């Protein structure tokens, strides 16, 4: 049985005192060695969630606990350990690397700072091994180069090498392949997967691209976010083969033909509206109701909470009925 590494409880996040909540009521557990894909459109709060996990952003209310301890109640040593063990790989590899430092200098800094190596010779050997681990071989071709001398995909591998250099337990990867050439995306995702299998590192993979989310793991979790809330949470295979929430079904239906993410091809799911509501004026009741073709009167008055339906956590009053329709292949018709 895998132990819980990180637990988020009743997380709310706003960036100003009386401002709108970017995240609302998030509960999430990340277990040892688990991969969690977080999907949703721009502005749904997934990047903010990633930054809360690594404590770049602090919750407005709610808690983040690492190995059972609230990170706000940790002593200095415990907090240092948490920051070391929970790393982030960012989207923009160019901005994330110092342009005036060679790859060796950039990769050496954290392992020296955290006393993982004790001598220059050991540092060089360790950096070479890291480069090899992330597929940048022969390592002598890369170790003394500057970031601008590498491609986007190679720089992204450097960021992964830097993250694993401190032996983390969780890596939050925020759209790590979105700025990389399409042809290289799958090999980078396979690299993350290899790191998960080889070192047992848990991954939180944040993306707007459902097709790539499926590559990160066969047995991980999938979280679907909409306007700062989790609307569906399930085993990734279960979720993609049997989506329940109407928003998630619309995302699945929009996966381009020819891309197989283990889902059934289904006709485009009509939405009442294409525009995402303004987060400053959230709809009453179910936040998805203005766009939902299945909405009934109660949906505009009452808020559905996440609840279990066929091994999936879903925030929809009518998930069972919608699921039955799906089984009968009557997708697209309102209940």
Using CB under 6 A as the criterion, which residues of the chain lie in contact with ligand SF4 when the complex forms?
246, 286, 288-289, 292, 294-295, 299, 304, 316-318
Report the alpha-carbon distance of residue 50 to residue 56 in Å, rounded: 9
Nearer to ligand SF4, 190 or 333 (CB): 333
Report, in Å, the least distance between residue 8 CB and ligand SF4. 23
Residue 41: alpha-carbon gap to chain centroid:
12
Q: How many CB atoms lie within 10 A of CB 193?
A: 18
With the C-alpha atoms ordered 219, 224, 229, 234, is the resulting torsion angle positive or negative? negative
Nearer to ligand SF4, 201 or 222 (CB): 222
Report, in Å, the least distance between residue 211 CB and ligand SF4. 23
Helix axes 120-133, 103-113, angle to 10 degrees: 110
Nearer to ligand SF4, 108 or 289 (CB): 289
Report, in Å, the least distance between residue 11 CB and ligand SF4. 21
Report, in Å, the least distance between residue 271 CB and ligand SF4. 10
Report, in Å, the least distance between residue 309 CB and ligand SF4. 11
Burial class (CB in 10 A: 0-12, 13-18, 19+), 179: middle
DSSP conformational letter for 39? E
Nearer to ligand SF4, 9 or 300 (CB): 300
Nearer to ligand SF4, 25 or 50 (CB): 25
E-strand stretches of the chain: 4-14, 21-31, 35-39, 61-66, 69-70, 86-89, 170-174, 202-207, 221-226, 229-235, 307-309, 312-314
Nearer to ligand SF4, 142 or 288 (CB): 288
Report, in Å, the least distance between residue 170 CB and ligand SF4. 31
């Amino acid at each position: 049985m895998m132990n819980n590494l990180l637990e988020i409880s009743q997380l709310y996040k706003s960036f100003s005192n009386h401002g709108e909540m970017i995240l609302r009521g998030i509960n999430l557990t990340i277990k040892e060695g688990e991969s969690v894909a977080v999907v949703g459109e721009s502005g749904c709060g997934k990047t903010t969630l990633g930054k809360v996990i690594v404590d770049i952003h602090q919750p407005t209310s709610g808690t983040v606990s690492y190995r059972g301890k609230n990170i706000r109640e940790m002593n200095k040593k415990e907090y240092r350990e948490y920051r070391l063990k929970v790393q982030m790989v960012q989207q923009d590899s160019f901005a994330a690397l110092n342009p005036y430092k060679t790859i060796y200098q950039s990769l050496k800094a954290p392992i020296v700072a955290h006393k993982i190596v004790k001598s220059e010779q050991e540092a060089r050997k360790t950096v070479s091994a890291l480069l090899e681990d992330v597929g940048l071989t022969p390592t002598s071709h890369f170790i003394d180069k500057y970031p601008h001398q590498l491609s986007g995909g190679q720089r992204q591998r450097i960021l992964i090498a830097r993250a694993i250099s401190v032996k983390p337990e969780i890596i939050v990867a925020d759209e790590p392949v979105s700025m990389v050439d399409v042809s290289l995306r799958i090999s980078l995702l396979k690299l993350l997967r290899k790191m998960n299998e080889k070192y047992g590192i848990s991954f939180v993979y944040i993306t707007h691209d459902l097709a790539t989310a499926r590559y990160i793991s066969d047995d991980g979790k999938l979280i679907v976010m909409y306007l700062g809330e989790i609307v569906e949470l399930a085993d990734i295979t279960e979720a993609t083969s049997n989506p329940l929430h109407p928003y998630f079904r619309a995302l699945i239906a929009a996966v381009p033909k020819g891309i197989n993410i283990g889902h059934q091809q289904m006709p485009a799911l009509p939405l009442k509206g294409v525009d995402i509501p303004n987060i400053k004026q959230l709809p009453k009741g179910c936040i998805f109701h203005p766009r939902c073709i299945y909405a009934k009167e109660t949906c505009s008055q009452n808020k559905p909470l996440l609840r279990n339906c066929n091994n999936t956590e879903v925030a929809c009053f009518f998930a069972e009925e919608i699921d039955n329709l799906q089984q009968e292949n009557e997708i697209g018709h309102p209940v």
